[in-house]
Amino acid sequence: MSESISDWKKWGEKDPYYGVLSDEKYRMAQLSEERLKEFFDSGEDFVAESRQRIKQWFGSDIAQGSILDFGCGVGRLAIPFARMTSREVWGLDISEAIVQRACEHRDRMGLHHLHIKTYNGRELDGLPAFDFINAFIVFQHIEFARGMRLMRQLLDMTREGGIVQVQVTYGHRLPRLTYANFYMRTKCQAYNFIYSSLKHRRLCSEPVMQMNHYPPEKLFRLFASFSKQVHVEFTDHGGHLGAIYALKKSGKV
């Protein structure tokens, strides 16, 4: 099992909402109904923005087709996608604990056309083709080589004329010491154990999510195999720099 898969499974068991949005107010110990509503409202906002973005860039309405939310977590985006459309929506994640929570949220809302399942972190088998595929704040937590293989699989399962929207990190603007501390926590278990134990004043090793960088030129090389046009919108999440890439599949060119 890769380190990123193991880390995400730990977050799914310990702090699933914080694992999706790293804000202290979404820690399980502090989570209230009001904060849970705020959490899912942020997903509604993103889905509305995505629908508008795709209409502006491609003239397509994603509500008219089937949707896959890759790396769905507890359903922050998959649920709003399903509320937006009556077409089939799927959510995929590697954490059994997180998928169970997502299914509970889905069932409470009666979204019977939303299918949520786990996958093994490597192969995307047994899935239909989709008209729209979304992956937001997901690939940064997946090692580059494995992430590129998964991204190609997502492009392969997109229908001709369908649209893929992925957000991927390429760098950071964090202070040198801040990034060095973060990097060491993700790469050295002994360092993370010492850091976590000092932070919590007890012996422990807090799971920490990787922030992997994907060189844009390698992404564009992959995208060029499936589309002649890619739209880009830059992102900055707490000093981690990335971009939303969107393309309409036009066949391998």
Rounded-to-integer distance, Cα 28 and Cα 7, Å: 17
Domain boundaries, the chain: 3-173+209-248
Phi, psi of 196 (to 5 degrees): -65, -40
Q: Tell me the pLDDT band of 55, cut-offs 50, 70 and 90.
A: very high
Q: Give the whole-angstrom CA distance, residue 56 versus residue 104.
A: 34
For the CA atoms of 14, 15, 16, 21, the dihedral, rounded to the nearest 10 degrees, stands at: -160
Dist CA 71 CA 139 (whole Å) = 9
- Percent of the chain past pLDDT 90, that is, above it, reads 66
The pLDDT of residue 41 is 92
Is the pLDDT at 27 greater than 60? The verdict is yes
Alpha-carbon distances of 192 from 6, 10, 15, 43, rounded to whole Å: 15, 15, 18, 31
Is residue 19's pLDDT more than 70? no
Residue 145 C-beta-side C-alpha neighbours within 13 Å: 1
- Phi/psi of residue 204, nearest 5 degrees: -165, 165
Q: What one-character-per-residue DSSP string does 155-177 give? A: HHTEEEEEEEEEEEEEEE---HH
146, HSE (Cβ side, Cα atoms, 13 Å): 17
- Of 17-21, 106-110, 203-207, the poorest mean pLDDT is in 17-21
The predicted-structure confidence for 81-136, as pLDDT tens digits, reads as follows 999 999 999 999 999 999 999 999 999 999 999 999 999 989 998 899 999 999 99
- pLDDT value for 248: 98
- Among 1.10.3720.10, 3.40.50.150, 3.40.50.1100, 3.40.50.300, what is the CATH number of 3-173+209-248? 3.40.50.150
Query: Looking at the whole model, is its pTM more than 0.75?
Result: yes
Residue ranges of E strands in 123-201: 130-135, 158-172
Tokens of 217: 């030129």
Nearest to 101 by CA among 38, 44, 19, 42: 19
* Dihedral pair phi/psi, residue 164, rounded to 5°: -115, 130
Question: Measured between alpha carbons, how far is 82 from 56 in angstroms, rounded to an integer?
Answer: 21
Per-residue tokens: 91: 């959510």
Is pLDDT at 194 greater than 80 in this prediction? yes
Q: What angle do CA 146, 147, 149 make, to 5 degrees?
A: 65
Phi and psi at residue 65, to the nearest 5°: -135, 175
Residue 68 has pLDDT above 60, yes or no: yes
Query: And the tokens for 235?
Result: 């992102």
Choose between 236 and 187: higher pLDDT: 236
Taking the C-alpha atoms of residue 214 and residue 103, their distance in angstroms, rounded to an integer, is 31
